[in-house]
Amino acid sequence: MSFDNHLDTLYRQVIMDHYKNPRNRGVLEDENIDINMNNPTCGDRVHLTMKVEDGKIVDAKFEGEGCSISMSSASMMTQAIKGKTVEEALALSKIFSDMMQGKEYDDSADLGDIEALQGVSKFPARIKCATLAWKAMEKGLHSQK
């Protein structure tokens, strides 16, 4: 049953599931990348810790405060990058960024839950919410290189 078609393109069930039951929530103790990122205009905050070994992201956790879109996106992002190489994670980030801007994106990659965030591109005011954790991830990985 659809309550509101317009809003349903944004608030997909899987997004709400990640918001209510965030994956990889917390702070890694044996991290080698530790990044804080804020969205100063709205107060959203993400603290991302990652453990990278031999060019591979072996673990990632996040904690923070924010809306359903920023927190679910952070949850999905950590889920997606675990086990990926740094290059793969950055490539995924590029795909995600294109998706948010409503550009053509490489859909050959398996995006999994992330695909659900596609509707955010139709809500320009919310794109920054979705990209916060991804920007933290990019910044963290670049700082390590």
Partner 1 sequence: MDAKEVRQLFPILAQEVNGKPLVYLDSAATSQKPLPVIEALDKYYREYNSNVHRGVHTLGTKATDAYEGAREKVRKFINAKSTQEIIFTRGTTTALNTVAASYGRTNLREGDEIVITYMEHHSNIIPWQQVAKYTGATLKYIPLQADGSISLDDVEKTVTPNTKIVSVMQVSNVLGAINPIKQIAQIAHKNGAVMVVDAAQSAPHMKIDVQDLDCDFLAFSGHKMCGPTGIGVLYGKRALLEQMEPVEFGGEMIDFVGLYESTWKELPWKFEGGTPIIAGAIGLGVAIDFLEQIGLDSISAHEHKLAQYALEQLSAIEGLTIYGPKERSGLVTFNIDEVHPHDVATVLDAEGIAVRAGHHCAQPLMKWLNVTATARASFYLYNTEEDIDRLVAALKKTKEYFSHVF
Residues that bind partner 1 (CB under 8 A): 3-4, 6-8, 10-11, 13, 16, 20, 41-45, 65-70, 123, 125-126, 129
Q: Are 14 and 116 in contact (CB under 8 A)?
A: yes
**Long-range contacts: 98-106, Cβ < 8 Å, 24+?**
100/127, 100/130, 100/131, 101/127
In the complex, minimum distance from the CB of residue 43 to partner 1, in angstroms, rounded to a whole number: 4
Nearest-5° angle of CA 45, CA 49, CA 53? Answer: 155
In the complex, minimum distance from the CB of residue 44 to partner 1, in angstroms, rounded to a whole number: 8
| Residues 98, 106: Cα–Cα separation, whole Å | 9
In the complex, minimum distance from the CB of residue 139 to partner 1, in angstroms, rounded to a whole number: 21
Nearer residue to partner 1 within complex by CB, 70 or 78 = 70
121: phi then psi, degrees, rounded to nearest 5: -60, -20
| Residues 47, 14: Cα–Cα separation, whole Å | 22
Nearer residue to partner 1 within complex by CB, 16 or 109 = 16
In the complex, minimum distance from the CB of residue 121 to partner 1, in angstroms, rounded to a whole number: 14
Nearer residue to partner 1 within complex by CB, 61 or 126 = 126
Nearer residue to partner 1 within complex by CB, 20 or 142 = 20
